[in-house]
Amino acid sequence: MSDSTPQLTVPVGPDDHTSGPKNAPVTLVEYGDYQCPHCGRAYPVVKAVQQQLAKKLRFVFRNMPLNEVHPQAELAAESAEAAGAQGKFWEMHDALYENQDSLGPELVSALAERLGLDLKRFREDVEKRHFKERVRSDFMSGVRSGVAGTPTFFINGERFDGDWSNPRALVDALSARS
């Protein structure tokens, strides 16, 4: 890791949402906002990279809702966490990005129903903001790591400032650091 490149200050841990093997040679951490159009464009790129690298990649998503510009982002993040409490974080994560243009209370309720969640528990978790602190913790870990916008990616703990919009470029960067 380079001394001049910003580093991930909060290492990946047991509370993170991860996809892929824990012992994968490459870990890609994304700080994302469900309402951010750039994150929406990054979503299929990350999916393609995950498919291409398969067991060589562990992907971690951390919430970075930018509420001032994306008023539905925090609701979406807390909804993903509420779904995660029922074992369906990644399903909600994907559904939120796939329906990004319709984010709001009606959508998250419909998605919770579609995912077969315990609706009473989900609604209570969202309405009482049970996951507000979890989302804030992700956000603050991003702030401490120098995240200023979304999406921001870290590869094996080092911020990636290359072209994330090109799956080939991202795969090459990930492969070079494995």
**11-30 per-residue burial string, b: 16 or more CB within 10 A, e: under 16:** ebeeebbbbbeeebebbbbb
Would you list the domain boundaries of the chain?
A: 17-176
Q: Where are the beta strands (DSSP E) in 64-151?
A: none
Over the stretch 11-27, which tens digit does the pLDDT of each residue have? 999 999 999 999 999 99
Answer yes or no: are the C-beta atoms of 75 and 109 closer than 8 Å. no
Q: What is the mean pLDDT of residues 128-136?
A: 98
Over the stretch 70-110, which tens digit does the pLDDT of each residue have? 999 999 999 999 999 999 999 999 999 999 999 999 999 99
Q: Which fold has domain 17-176?
A: Glutaredoxin (3.40.30)
Q: What is the pLDDT of residue 156?
A: 96
Residues 65, 150: Cα–Cα separation, whole Å: 9
Q: What is the value of pTM for the model shown?
A: 0.95
